[in-house]
Amino acid sequence: MRRFFVAAAVLVALVLAISCAKKQEAQQEQQQPAKATTEVQQLNKCVVCGMEIPAEADTITAEYNGVVYHFCSPQDKEKFLANPEMYVKAKGDTTQKTEM
């Protein structure tokens, strides 16, 4: 009879230890810092003229306030860089976060 109680106590201790380990693992995953992200414009549209640019194409880009903007031509990039706030406010927030 005594062996039964010892075996039951060991089994309960084992179940509790596994449960605590899983809970600690879940808490550690939640506390890990998020992966670094950067904002990029959806659909790779030229922020100046609105022309869609194929995502696989080598595009002309510029970064402004942590957001990467795409352009269809060097001339549009220069227009943007001369007054980025005009284009950012005019287009509104059309960005999404993606992992780098």
Q: Are 41 and 68 in contact (CB under 8 A)?
A: yes
Q: Are 92 and 61 in contact (CB under 8 A)?
A: no
Q: Does 86 lie in the same domain as 42?
A: yes
Q: What is the number of domains present in the chain?
A: 2
Average pLDDT of the chain to the nearest whole number = 75
Q: Does 28 lie in the same domain as 53?
A: no
Domain range for residue 5?
Answer: 1-32
Q: Does 28 lie in the same domain as 42?
A: no
Q: What is the arithmetic mean of pLDDT over 47-76? A: 87
| pLDDT tens sequence across 15-27 | 766 776 676 777 7
Q: Does 43 lie in the same domain as 86?
A: yes
Q: Does 89 lie in the same domain as 43?
A: yes
Q: Does 76 lie in the same domain as 52?
A: yes
Q: What is the pLDDT of residue 20?
A: 67
Structure tokens that stand for 48 in this block = 């100046």
